[in-house]
């Protein structure tokens, strides 16, 4: 091999080395830019999208379900689905009989407190059914004494409440809401808002007076439907004098009270916007009335089911998140479907501690 060919092949080798190094540089630069770009995208999409990477098969619709971080200021914990009533329109039905062990429920409530919860509402199913109301009482006591929450409330059909419960736990409770859809006993029977032939209204009046006696703020919830839409409840509500009268337009939820898999068929209970408005107009003199149309109600509640999963109602069903006990509040709440603006618009934030209500007991 002569000198010129040795020189040529060395130059070729050097050139190849240069090209290789250049390629490596370009690849590193490309990788750096790509990771920088993805970090910027994550940052712009907010905390939730940065911490939960959706599986590659996620559709646009599913991606849209992931929402920015929300504070769970006011939470509704439906710890049981079992109930002794058979309201035909019920949208939280006995699909399971599961109830968390008390310590796990307390752990979940502590996680919620750490995440910013100020108000807890216990609901169901019928919350006074499990352990004859003692499970509920212990949670109420825990939320007041250990977590020191500003507001603790319960929604109940009222049929299982005993005076001894007030004696034991009444001090720790701010608000007790009793559901009553009619002041006509026959209508309650037709709706299924009753256990056998027992009077729903007798319980309502009895509990109203216990609330007064044991210093618990008394509230009423009514679902307006085809059976009670023409009723005038002004006189009875005025007499009972609740701190708040929540008036709901009967809502359909697929898989609960509508559709093939549902345990209830509530279509025959549904009323129009106009019918709902007529009911509200008839009761315009009742100052404690708080109306909730389907639109206001659907996504404005943070709902936790019996496994402590948030339920997202945006698709007209109750789609569960993962449990806060498994993934924490911050991750689970991204899939809650909660509409905070609507929560504020419907008056979800109000004077909710009995100490601040200035009631005459």
Ligand X SMILES: C[S@@+](CC[C@H](N)C(=O)[O-])C[C@H]1O[C@@H](n2cnc3c(N)ncnc32)[C@H](O)[C@@H]1O
- How many residues belong to the site for ligand SF4 (CB under 6 A)? 10
92 touching ligand X, by CB under 6 A: yes
Q: Which does 166 bind (CB under 5 to 8 A by kind): ligand SF4, ligand X, none?
A: none
Q: 76 pairs with which residues across the strands?
A: 121, 303
Taking CB under 6 A as the rule, does residue 75 contact ligand X?
no
Instruction: Name the nearest CA neighbour of 150 among 75, 55, 64.
Output: 75
Q: Which two tokens stand for residue 57?
A: 């098969």
297 binds ligand SF4 (CB under 6 A): no
Binding residue for ligand SF4 (CB under 6 A) from 124, 133, 170, 242? 124
Residues 6 or more apart in contact with residue 239 via CB below 8 angstroms = none
- Beta-carbon count within 10 A of 216 CB: 24
* Beta carbon of residue 126, minimum distance to ligand SF4 (angstroms, whole number): 5
Residues 86-115 that bind ligand SF4 (CB under 6 A): 86-87, 90, 92
When asked if residue 266 is in the footprint of ligand X (CB under 6 A), the reply is yes
Nearest to 324 by CA among 140, 115, 149: 115
Residues whose CB is less than 8 angstroms from the CB of residue 187 and which lie 6 or more positions away in sequence, other chains included: 181, 227, 228, 231
- Looking at 22-30, 85-93, 239-247, 250-258, which segment touches ligand SF4 (CB under 6 A)? 85-93
Phi, psi of 13 (to 5 degrees): -60, -45
By beta-carbon proximity to ligand X, the closer residue of 111 and 303 is 303
**Chosen residue from 65, 99, 122, 125 binding ligand SF4 by CB under 6 A:** 125
In this chain, which of 159, 221, 228, 321 binds ligand X, going by CB under 6 A? 221
By CB under 6 A, tell whether 323 contacts ligand X.
Answer: no
What is the x/- site pattern for ligand SF4, positions 196-235, by CB under 6 A? ----------------------------------------
Q: Please identify every residue annotated as catalytic.
A: 83, 87, 90
304 binds, among ligand SF4, ligand X, none (CB under 5 to 8 A by kind): none
Q: How far is CA 117 from the centre of its chain?
A: 12
Q: How far is CA 3 from CA 12, 13, 28, in A?
A: 14, 16, 38
Instruction: Specify the DSSP class assigned to residue 53.
Output: P
CB count in 10 Å sphere of residue 263: 12
The rounded distance, in Å, linking the Cα atoms of 87 and 194 is 8
Q: Where are the beta strands (DSSP E) in the chain?
A: 74-78, 119-123, 151-156, 175-179, 217-224, 244-249, 289-292, 302-304, 309-312, 319-323
Cα gap 321→66, rounded to integer Å = 10
Q: Which is nearer to ligand SF4, 215 or 317 (CB)?
A: 317
Does 74 engage in binding with ligand X (CB under 6 A)?
no
Residues 6+ apart with CB under 8 A from 302: 70, 72, 74, 75, 76, 310, 333, 336, 338
Contact map string, positions 142 to 161, toward ligand X, x by CB under 6 A:
-------------xxx----
Which of the choices ligand SF4, ligand X, none does residue 156 contact, using the CB cut-off of 5 to 8 A by kind? ligand X
The residue within the footprint of ligand X, chosen from 99, 120, 250, 308 (CB under 6 A), is 250
- In the range 151-180, which residues lie near ligand SF4 by CB under 6 A? 157
Q: Does 76 bind ligand SF4 (CB under 6 A)?
A: no
CB of 32 to ligand SF4, least distance (A): 57
**Three-point CA angle 87, 262, 258, nearest 5°:** 80
Among 179, 203, 228, 336, binds ligand X (CB under 6 A): 179
| Tokens found for residue 137 | 């009482």
CB of 195 to ligand X, least distance (A): 11
Binding-site ranges for ligand X (CB under 6 A) = 83, 89-92, 123-124, 126, 155-157, 179, 221, 223, 248, 250-251, 257, 266
Can you give the binding site for ligand SF4, defined by CB under 6 A? 83, 85-87, 90, 92, 124-126, 157
């Amino acid at each position: 091999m002569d000198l010129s060919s040795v020189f040529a092949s060395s130059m070729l080798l050097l050139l190849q080395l240069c090209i290789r190094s250049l390629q490596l540089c370009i690849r590193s630069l490309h990788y750096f830019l790509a990771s920088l770009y993805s970090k910027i995208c994550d940052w712009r999409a907010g905390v939730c999208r940065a911490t939960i990477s959706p599986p590659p098969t996620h559709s646009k619709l599913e991606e849209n379900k992931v929402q920015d971080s929300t504070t769970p200021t006011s939470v509704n914990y439906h710890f049981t689905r079992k109930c002794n009533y058979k309201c035909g329109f019920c949208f939280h039905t006995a699909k399971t009989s599961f109830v968390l062990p008390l310590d796990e429920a307390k752990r979940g409530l502590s996680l919620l407190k750490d995440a910013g919860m100020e108000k807890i509402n216990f609901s169901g199913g019928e919350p006074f059914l499990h352990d004859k109301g003692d499970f509920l009482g212990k949670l109420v006591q825990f939320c007041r004494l250990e977590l020191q929450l500003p507001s603790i409330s319960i929604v109940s059909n009222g049929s299982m409440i005993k005076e001894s419960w007030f004696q034991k736990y009444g001090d720790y409770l701010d608000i007790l809401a009793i559901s009553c859809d009619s002041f006509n006993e026959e209508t309650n029977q037709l709706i299924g808002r009753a256990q056998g032939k027992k009077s729903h209204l007798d319980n309502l009046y009895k509990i109203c007076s216990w609330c007064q006696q044991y210093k618990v703020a008394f509230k009423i919830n009514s679902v307006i439907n085809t059976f009670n839409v023409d009723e005038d409840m002004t006189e009875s509500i005025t007499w009972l004098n609740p701190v708040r009268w929540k008036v709901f337009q009967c809502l359909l939820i697929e898989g609960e009270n509508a559709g093939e898999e549902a345990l209830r068929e509530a279509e025959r209970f549904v009323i129009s916007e106009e019918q709902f408005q007529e009911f509200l107009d008839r009761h315009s003199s009742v100052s404690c009335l708080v109306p909730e149309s389907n639109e206001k109600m659907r996504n404005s509640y943070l709902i936790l089911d019996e496994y402590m999963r948030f339920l997202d109602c945006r698709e007209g069903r109750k789609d569960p998140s993962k449990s806060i006990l498994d993934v924490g509040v911050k991750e689970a709440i991204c899939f809650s479907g909660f509409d905070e603006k609507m929560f504020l618009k419907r008056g979800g934030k109000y004077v909710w501690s009995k100490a601040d209500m200035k009631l005459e007991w």
